[in-house]
Chains A and B, each alone.
Chain A
Amino acid sequence: MECRVVINSLSDYLDGSLAAQEFQSIEAHLTQCPPCNAVRVDLTQITLAAKELPLRTPSRALWIRIQNEIEIETAVPGKVEEKKVSWWKRVSERNFTFTLPQLAGASMLAFSLMVFGMYHALHRDPQVASQASSDTANPILPMEKDLQFKIQQKASQLNTRRVSWNPEIRTVYDNHLQRIDNSLSHVRQSWVTTRDTDQQKLLMDLYNEKLRLMEDFERLGK
């Protein structure tokens, strides 16, 4: 048996994980080969010494540090449970490794998206573009600007007061407001495309309804 083969199998030999036949072959070699036997003895000494390594002692302040950290955690109710790590922290602390084909694929995808985006920006339908811009809150009716201004003022007044409201009242108010806003958005969009006078009237009614709702809840808070 070659010395190199014996050396490479020495750890398995020492840990007793060799088959009986191989074990005997190595043992026979070791009795005849002093250099290999010396390696065996040294490895035995290393493994024995490893089992008897002394325990090491950290600095005295460690317990105080641990105690302080736990105290800070327990001071906040419900924080004793395992800390929830934000997804951003998890992602930022993770080490990503990518293969060359993966990187090439990602670059191609990014390039395709860029070309697609540019193509759509250049070939955009002007009518659709005007519709999209009309979906914003920019005033489009004669009285709309004044109404929007009044609503904005009321909203800022109510926002400071709503903190003191009963949670149920707050929910009712938010739900009503949400419904009116949804209708407003829908009707506004219809008016932009149809220019129908009924839609225009409905739009103004909705603004007034929103204002009334705010005034009602303003009185409630007083």
Chain B
Amino acid sequence: MSSLSLTTPLALFGMPAKGAPVARTNNVIVGATTTNTAVPDFELTQAAANGDMAAFETLYERHYRRVYSLCLRMLANPTEAEDLTQEVFVQLFRKLGSFRGESQFTTWLHRLTVNQVLMHFRKKGVKLEKTTEEGDELNEIVQVGTDRPNSMPVVDRIALDDAIAQLPPGYRSVFVLHDVEGYEHEEIGKLLGCSVGTSKSQLHKARMKLRGLLTKKS
């Protein structure tokens, strides 16, 4: 039996929890994202592409937390994550005219975000770990056969977030893209320039490393 429990209130995918505070002060949005979903994203992109800043602000309100969370989890650095979120939205404003609505706006925006993060890694010279498709055996992490079935500590999602931040950049990228953002290995392979096998191998290593980190915390 595992004892991992999830205790953080749900605030998933830009949807605020019931009664979550939304405070606005002079064009600044604080707390949960806006619930105004009357106008589709595509219409807002068209209006914003024609210079309508109010439409662009609505797009920002809808997606800024998702973009920031993705940047933060991939970079594990709040300052860099904010800078990159800013860069993503400025890029978005520049590229709005090229969005034709063939794909979902969120998909398009997330791809833009991931590309910005990967470009940032390249600029900084961050090496994403490369492993063989078979992957190395995880001797240092897994203690199989030790007969300690209840080794996992009680962790919440904040602890998991902290553990993700401790992963090496390559493992972290694959884990965030696959397990947090829901990308398929084929897509990850294309984005990171690696094979599907490498992506799978890195994901498994990331999960095992997380388990090790969460176990150590107890």
Contacts and interface: CB of A to CB of B under 8 A. Distances in A.
B161 A3 contact: no
A126 interface: no
A124 interface: no
Contacts of B41: none
B69 A56 contact: yes
A219 interface: no
B191 interface: no
Interface in B159-218: 160-161, 164, 175, 179-180, 182, 200, 203-204, 207-208, 210-211, 214
Contact of B145 (A3, A37, A53): A3
B69 A55 contact: yes
Contact of A49 (B14, B28, B157): B157
A82 B27 contact: no
Given A49-B6, A50-B180, A70 B148 contact: no
B161 A53 contact: yes
Taking chain A's interface residues, is the majority helix, strand, or loop, or is none over half, making it mixed?
helix
B104 interface: no
Contact of B204 (A10, A34, A73): A10
Interface in B25-65: 25, 27-31, 33, 51, 53, 56-57, 60, 64-65
A115 interface: no
Interface residues of B, number: 76
A190 to B, nearest CB: 55
A80 B4 contact: no
Interface residues of A, number: 52
B62 to A, nearest CB: 12
Given A37-B149, A67-B53, A95 B144 contact: no
Contacts of B211: 39, 42-43, 46
Given A55-B65, A57-B68, A69-B86, A63 B60 contact: yes
B149 A46 contact: no
20 contacts: A3-B145, A4-B137, A4-B142, A34-B149, A38-B148, A38-B149, A38-B150, A41-B1, A41-B152, A50-B160, A53-B180, A56-B72, A59-B82, A60-B25, A62-B85, A64-B27, A66-B89, A70-B53, A70-B93, A80-B94
Interface of A: 3-4, 7-8, 10-12, 17, 34-39, 41-67, 69-70, 73-74, 80-83, 93-95
